[in-house]
Copies of this chain bind each other. A is one copy, B any other.
Amino acid sequence: MSIKSTTLKEIAKQLNISKSTVSRALNDDYSVSAKTKQLVLDCARQLNYTPNFAAKSLKNGKSNVIGIIANTIDNNFIAKLLSGVELVAYQHGYNVVICQNRESYDLELSNLNYLAAKSVDGLLVSLSSETTGIAHFTDLQQKGLPMVFFDRVPDNADIHKVEANNFKASYEATTYLIKQGHTRIAQITSNPSVSITKQRLAGYHQALRDHDLPYDEQYVQYCLHGGFDMDEVEQVMNTLLKADKPPQAIIAASDRITTNCITLLYKLNYQIPQDIALLGFSNNDLINVLSPQIPIIELPAFEMGVAAAELLMRSIKKGALPFEFQSLDARLIVK
């Protein structure tokens, strides 16, 4: 309102009718005559009327703001997802407030408190890797705050969730490598406490089983810090490469792990894919542009944002909804 804008009252005065009629006309209420409605609409446009959100909020007890808690926003996956969320939110007249937990449970909690104090009408959440229980969320949900979990979702059944189909993606990745003729396929993945890690491992197992390949424990390596720590990637990479029978192919199960694997293999003078094949999960555009080229699994980031936001909007508008669980397909991209 920094800029003074027209109000209902001014339209009413101009047209010599009451504020309430103007309000009704603007909200397309059935009780208003077509003629009056038209008059009001014309006048509103002419005076460049825009509703006052604060007044609306105060009146109907909704802030028209949704909150989103994600790990960080400085990666392509979340950035694209956010674009989807904002598209939907803006269409429904909602603003989006973004908070970053930076993989910390404590920050996640303070984000939550911040957003609750802002009295957001709904919440979009991707869990920090430190988070185990979600009582801090479900408490608020039970008090009536609609929320949708996305990407890194909890196991709970009594929540809404929107995920990538990580199982299928990993299954396809593994199958692709098998079809390429590889029999010893490794997976370097993140902390197994995170939902997406478990799902990606499960897909990998299933694909091996379905193609009658043995599962060898030594070929699954974990980066407990999500691969952000180059040293831990280096360590597990060395373990793999120094094995009696080193893997012929590696699946890097996260964006950061993928990048670090490329760097490491380059440093070690391994040619990809001649010396060892690499396939990685990644939503970073750069990966398509830099060399060496590897097949990647790209998550449907934008679509997940749209789906999560739409589910949240429905949940806000209709109140208690049967809990929904959506799983969107990822894309295997081979150049």
Copies of this chain, how many?
2
Q: Are the C-beta atoms of A259 and B83 separated by less than 8 Å?
A: no
- Tell which of B2, B72, B118 touches A95, judged by Cβ atoms closer than 8 Å: B118
- Tell which of B5, B75, B83, B284 touches A100, judged by Cβ atoms closer than 8 Å: B83
Tell me which residues across on chain B come within 8 A of A3, comparing CB atoms. 116, 119, 140, 143-145
Chain A: interface size category: 35 or more
Q: Roughly how many angstroms separate A90 CA and B115 CA in the complex, as a whole number?
A: 11
Q: Is A290 an interface residue (CB 8 A)?
A: yes
Q: Is A108 an interface residue (CB 8 A)?
A: no
Give the residue name and chain of the B residue nearest to A286 (CB).
B286
- Tell which of B2, B61, B63 touches A119, judged by Cβ atoms closer than 8 Å: B2
Q: Are the C-beta atoms of B90 and A82 separated by less than 8 Å?
A: no
Tell whether A2 pairs with B98 under 8 Å between CB atoms, given A57-B54, A286-B259: no
- Tell which of B1, B90, B144 touches A61, judged by Cβ atoms closer than 8 Å: B1
Q: Are the C-beta atoms of A118 and B53 separated by less than 8 Å?
A: yes
**A residues neighboring B (CB under 8 Å):** 1-3, 5, 50, 52-55, 57-58, 61-63, 65, 72-76, 79-80, 82-83, 86, 90, 95-98, 100, 114, 116-122, 140, 143-146, 259-260, 262-263, 266-267, 284-287, 289-291, 316
